[in-house]
Amino acid sequence: MKVFLDFEASSLSDRSYPVEVAWVLEDGGSESHLIAPATDWDDWDPVAQSIHGIAREQLVRDGTPHDRVAHRMVEALTGHDLFASAPSWDGKWLSHLLRTAGLPRHSLRLRDTDEALRDSCTAILQPVLDPARLKIEVHNIVARASAAKTATPAHRALADAMGEHDTWRRAEQAARALAARMADG
């Protein structure tokens, strides 16, 4: 099953750590967790806080311990295809969370959301289009679905993960509509 995931973080520095994670399953199910910082996670950027609106004090007070979040992620997400709009950044925070919890950093792997869009559209259209047109139509559908994203991310993990899920759904719907037209025509 495809899963769309997003992190918010303490900053964009080398010492940053995840402060929130959320994921949305292909079927629309979702989870979101504020992450209580590990004792040695002390990086904090007030600019990052002003963007995501999560205070460090809130994480300490209301967050789920980082190791519980990491274990929950491995339990819930192992065996699924994980996608993120910024897999290099989100992958950095995922790896940091897993390592700090004593789990192998490659327990979970992220790929770019655009891969999910391309793969789904290709699977839907491959039976009805020749290879040359398939590549063009998939490119066009992915471009239109991505362009329809909200101009500015919400910078909250669940809202942003839902946005990625919605983009994937738009691409799938467009591919199904084209496949239906081709089958009728």
For residue 140, give its domain range. Answer: 113-184
CATH number, domain with residue 58: 3.30.420.10
Mapping DSSP onto H, E and C, the string for the chain reads CEEEEEEEECCCCCCCCEEEEEEEECCCCEEEEEEECCCCCCCCCHHHHHHHCCCHHHHHHHCEEHHHHHHHHHHHHCCCEEEECCHHHHHHHHHHHHHHCCCCCCCCCEEEHHHHHHHHHHHHHCCCCCHHHHHHHHHHHHHHHHHCCCCCCCCCHHHHHHHHHHHHHHHHHHHHHHHHHHHHC
Confidence (pLDDT) at 78: 97
pLDDT tens, residue order, the chain (185 aa): 999 999 999 999 999 999 999 999 999 999 999 999 999 999 999 999 999 999 999 999 999 999 999 999 999 999 999 999 999 999 999 999 999 999 998 999 999 999 999 999 999 999 999 999 999 999 999 999 988 876 667 789 999 999 999 999 999 999 999 999 988 86
Same domain membership, residue 139 and residue 77: no
Confidence (pLDDT) at 151: 61
Same domain membership, residue 86 and residue 52: yes
Confidence (pLDDT) at 184: 82
Same domain membership, residue 86 and residue 7: yes
Confidence (pLDDT) at 154: 79
End of a domain among 90, 111, 132?
111
Domain count, the chain: 2
Same domain membership, residue 47 and residue 67: yes
